[in-house]
A = this chain, B = another copy of it.
Amino acid sequence: MKHAGICLAAALSVMAGATGSAQDKNRNDLKKPLVIASQGSFFVGGEKKSIQAGDVTVNQMYVQYQIPSNGNRHLPVVMVHGCCLSSKTWETTPDGRMGWDEYFVRRDRPVYLADQVSRARSGFDASTISAVKAGTQPPSALPNIIYASQQIAWTVFRFGPKFGEAFPDGQFPIQAVDELYKQMIPDLNALLPNPNPTWKNMAALAVQLKGAILMGHSESGFFPQQAALLDPSGIRGMISIEMPCPDLSADQIAKLAKIPTLVMFGDHLGDVKGGPANWAQSLETCNVYVQKVKDAGGDAVMMYLPKMGIKGNSHMLMQDRNSLQLADLIIDWIDKHVEKK
């Protein structure tokens, strides 16, 4: 039972507390009851589309939130998951530890988890699939559905050099990898119009919240920037975790340079060969992006973790064993670069 496991871990941690380090001590409060001022869920965006069965709503984005009792002290953080995943990314880790969703709330941040448009509780536009079944469109009209198979995930997420072999210093809780596999779900983003409605919805959510920090990962790593290029007015900070950075025009860079930016990359970027991702190259493109933002007078920080002495992080670093240490780095960055406290 997952939460029984968590309780046991919590109890053991309390027992160990007396001899723990300052950082351990700092986290003893995580075992206290969580006090929520308000919570709930809602949708952002969505348009009516007429299909054979009648009118349906498409392109809406499902958002689930928790506001802690001290939440008015800090800006909300919006977390958006990557390819072939849902908001589960940010929740309880595969090995049953607290996710970033709750940790940020316990650090007094209102947290908003968004399922990307066309994924999970946001639903998707199924009309093409129905039309192919009905014979009114050819099979070639079907979307290219992306799966992260277990074999692909192992290497693309950098658990080890090849499937079944883990990096000796890897931070991912590899004994619980089967639980990660359960959260990998088909990616239907190929069904989406261009530009991706998630970008507009993220920008709209930031406006609705009267200011928010947007965080993306992998497939959605640059979504905070894509949202800001559409409407920067609500976006107070952008956190981008492990993705390729595109080549942007000087105008685009100037627009993005007005918003504090954090980019984070884990370890072993060049230690996995082949596959659809080239993380070493992604880091390079993001180093270029960060430098361009700085050259344009912006505040951009690259946290390349191994360079900071933090070793072994996978692509799923929010689920890695040191995930709360990384969360603390992000919260510290928010305090110093966005909220300037």
Contact = CB atoms under 8 A, between A and B. Distances in A.
Interface of A: 1-3, 6-7, 33-43, 46, 48, 51, 53-57, 60, 62, 64-65, 67, 69, 86-88, 91-92, 96, 98-99, 102, 115, 120-124, 126, 129-130, 132-133, 135, 139-140, 142-145, 147, 149-152, 178-179, 181-186, 208-210
The A contact surface, by secondary structure, is: mixed
Contact of A51 (B36, B60, B142, B147): B147
A182 B33 contact: no
A35 B38 contact: no
Nearest to A99: B40
Contacts of A34: 35-39
Given A40-B91, A53-B151, 16 more contacts: A3-B65, A33-B35, A33-B36, A35-B35, A40-B102, A41-B91, A41-B92, A54-B152, A55-B149, A115-B120, A121-B121, A121-B183, A123-B184, A126-B145, A132-B132, A135-B139
B40 A92 contact: yes
Instruction: Say how many copies of this protein the assembly contains.
Output: 2
Given A123-B184, A126-B147, A152 B53 contact: yes
A279 B88 CA distance: 36
Contacts of A150: 48, 54-57
22 contacts: A1-B210, A2-B40, A2-B42, A3-B38, A3-B40, A34-B38, A42-B96, A53-B149, A54-B147, A54-B150, A55-B149, A57-B150, A86-B120, A86-B121, A87-B121, A120-B121, A123-B183, A124-B186, A130-B145, A132-B142, A133-B144, A139-B139
